[in-house]
Amino acid sequence: MTPRTPDDVQAALDAAGLVARITRHDAPTATAQEAADAIGAPLGSIVKSLLFLVDGRPVLVLAAGDRTVDARKLAEPFGVGRKKVRIADAKTTLEVTGYAPGGVPPLGHAQDLPVLIDASLGRFDTVHAAAG
């Protein structure tokens, strides 16, 4: 599979009728803290797009940069125990989303998949997510 690009994210935004600005940065950021520092934004406004496998099914979680994902809480809506929840590996993430870990956007994935959004992101007027 050819990895998707920021242009694919823009196409998904346009198709959904959403207005967002994609900015490109010279250096990649490996953590939410590095991303926040690079753009001068609060850590919590950084969206971590994390692919999990819940009972073998891919589920994308959009978590605030200053929060962690609780496997037990993630398992509840799917009616499984927390031991059935695990983070997807890099290969699975690329296959399911079309993007490598660290570059997964909130939309425009290679496959349709459920997306759960951390309600705490609502405390920010602007959030910052990866775009490829």
| pLDDT over 80 at 121, yes or no | yes
Which burial class, exposed, middle or buried, applies to 30 when counting CB atoms under 10 A from its CB (0-12, 13-18, 19+)?
Answer: exposed
> Residues near 115 by Cβ (< 8 Å), separated by ≥ 6?
59, 60, 61, 62, 106, 107
Write down the pLDDT at residue 28. 84
Closest CA to 108 of 4, 2, 1: 4
Determine contact, residues 87/75, Cβ cutoff 8 Å: no
pLDDT tens digits for range 35-82: 999 999 999 999 999 999 999 999 999 999 999 999 999 999 999 999
pTM for this prediction: 0.93
Write down the pLDDT at residue 52. 99
Average pLDDT for residues 111-123, to the nearest whole number? 96
Instruction: Return the minimum-mean-pLDDT range out of 20-29, 51-60, 113-122.
Output: 20-29
| pLDDT over 90 at 114, yes or no | yes
Annotated domain spans of the chain: 6-129
Determine contact, residues 58/113, Cβ cutoff 8 Å: yes
- CATH of span 6-129: 3.90.960.10
